[in-house]
Chain A
């Protein structure tokens, strides 16, 4: 089935972290994945975890410049979720039951390998962030995650001016970098 222009646009918007696009994709696809997981020995929470991880894979792919979507978003999410869930079932050594067939399944093996690599990198940074302590963690997050400017950060954290905040930020960054590379070499 060919992919409509609209579908492509939604896919690109997901890559831009667009809230409306996320909501529409979420709304249209959640129940399918939920149904699949819950009817195959999963709990409500499992369904949510699997779906959200599949959304992450979709997002990573949508951000990759040379990635071309070759199937519908629904098919893609279903294929990824199915693979993720099968893996988790095996991992948890639960009894594997006949998983009902969905006629179209896209090849997502490679995408999931990429996803695993990215997740590992993300976890490395998260571990480093976990070790850095406060107020560094909040300061770094305010700047790099929430994209606040130095003026806002200074007033929020109670620094007398933006320069002070900037100094503090670089101190934290130097420490985080050390922790990150220590973590990186270990993994």
Chain B
């Protein structure tokens, strides 16, 4: 009897699937062969462990699903607390220390910025390639064809042509999207298109060239707001080597790519950005970069022109910062970012399936 047959025999024996006669002869064999007996004991233990593993896995996936369903139906909610009292308390206790630390920091900062102006080269060499996509006439033709096949009609005025493209994704189900600011450069009109080919007119709410973030809002009767977004937005720093993935529109169809976080700062130590090892092409700009928990850690925006596979993303923390600034200037805007991701713990393809509904192609008509 070879290994495989033996394994099958032992499993059937242990699960009580052997016939009376087979069972009898197997037991005689087992009594006469200590090696076989040892193997049965091992298998017994192993199969028990295997069954337990299966049960735990099933239970876990059940509780994950339950959490997601309950959250989607609004039966459990995030809890927000005010921690002001504690902070004030700490302030009064550490006021003097903070004052000293702040003045040292101030002096150091002045010193360093002075050194920087003295020593840094006057004209920095541009080693970065922004990943917005130039839509050529050829590509436009193919996109026109596609529109005809689609059940949705294009809303772009006849005569106006789409010059640049990129990616954007939803940050608030009310129709707020985020993309890279450079995608919208010189834009007169902006349209976004979901993966089903449905086009919506969008308005530019704000652009911040420094962090390369822009906020859009969909203004379109046909737009149906989703109940909830599957992903959350991370405020924390991501660790080196953490696997990440992105979705975007380098072509007229949504494209998935994966890689890892290779540095916590961007080009020339830019602390607003991450460096990623991932494949990205023009059109990927503005796409979400997600970690394994399904949390957005950044917005993909550029790649290094002189190196292969070195890609940069602006940190998601910058979205929070930008929204806080916006809230001060326009309190009615009311954009809320979700902290936690409801796809945490699910596998990658499930995450991608949930996320891709909220990733849109950006079409820019120049003024």
Which residues of chain A (24-56) have a CB below 8 Å from chain B?
26-27, 30-31, 34-35, 38-39, 43-45, 47-48, 52, 55-56
Q: In the docked arrangement, what's the CA distance between A38 and B77, Å?
A: 12
How distant is B98 from chain A, measured CB to nearest CB, in Å? 18
Q: In the docked arrangement, what's the CA distance between A124 and B58, Å?
A: 17
Q: Is the beta-carbon distance between B51 and A144 smaller than 8 angstroms?
A: yes
Interface extent on B, as a size class?
A: 35 or more
Q: In the docked arrangement, what's the CA distance between A13 and B58, Å?
A: 14
How distant is A166 from chain B, measured CB to nearest CB, in Å? 7
Q: A30-B76, A44-B340 are in contact. Are A17 and B59 (CB under 8 A)?
A: yes
Q: A35-B79, A170-B4, A174-B3 are in contact. Are A180 and B49 (CB under 8 A)?
A: yes
Interface string of A111-130 (1 = CB under 8 A from B): 00000001001101110010
Partner pick for B63 among A22, A122, A147, CB 8 A cutoff: A22
Q: Is the beta-carbon distance between B43 and A177 smaller than 8 angstroms?
A: yes
Is A131 positioned at the interface, with any CB of B under 8 Å from its CB? no
Is B62 positioned at the interface, with any CB of A under 8 Å from its CB? yes
Question: Which residues of the partner chain B approach A23 to less than 8 Å between Cβ atoms?
Answer: 66, 69-70
Interface string of B1-44 (1 = CB under 8 A from A): 00110011001000000000000000000000000000000110
Q: Is the beta-carbon distance between B46 and A126 smaller than 8 angstroms?
A: no
How distant is B342 from chain A, measured CB to nearest CB, in Å? 10
Q: Is the beta-carbon distance between A17 and B58 smaller than 8 angstroms?
A: yes
Q: A22-B63, A23-B66, A59-B59 are in contact. Are A180 and B46 (CB under 8 A)?
A: yes
Q: Is the beta-carbon distance between B75 and A125 smaller than 8 angstroms?
A: no
Partner pick for A52 among B54, B67, B78, B81, CB 8 A cutoff: B67
Q: In the docked arrangement, what's the CA distance between A35 and B81, Å?
A: 10
Q: A48-B340, A121-B49, A144-B51 are in contact. Are A170 and B8 (CB under 8 A)?
A: yes
Partner pick for A38 among B42, B53, B79, CB 8 A cutoff: B79
Question: Which residues of the partner chain A approach B62 to less than 8 Å between Cβ atoms?
Answer: 17, 19, 22
Interface string of B317-347 (1 = CB under 8 A from A): 0000000000000000000000110001000
A-B complex: 8 closest residue pairs judged by Cβ atoms = A145-B54, A125-B53, A170-B4, A144-B54, A38-B79, A44-B340, A170-B7, A145-B57
Pull 23 A–B residue pairs with CB atoms less than 8 Å apart, ordered by A.
A30-B70, A31-B79, A38-B79, A43-B339, A44-B78, A44-B340, A45-B344, A47-B79, A48-B340, A48-B344, A52-B63, A56-B56, A118-B52, A121-B49, A122-B52, A122-B56, A125-B49, A144-B53, A144-B54, A167-B4, A173-B7, A174-B4, A180-B49
By a beta-carbon cutoff of 8 Å, the part of chain B in contact with chain A is 3-4, 7-8, 11, 42-43, 46, 49-60, 62-64, 66-67, 69-70, 75-76, 78-79, 81, 339-340, 344
By a beta-carbon cutoff of 8 Å, the part of chain A in contact with chain B is 17, 19, 22-23, 26-27, 30-31, 34-35, 38-39, 43-45, 47-48, 52, 55-56, 59, 63, 118, 121-122, 124-126, 129, 140-141, 144-147, 166-167, 170-171, 173-174, 177, 180-181
What would 6 more interface pairs be, CB under 8 Å, given A23-B66, A140-B50?
A19-B62, A44-B78, A125-B50, A125-B53, A147-B54, A180-B49
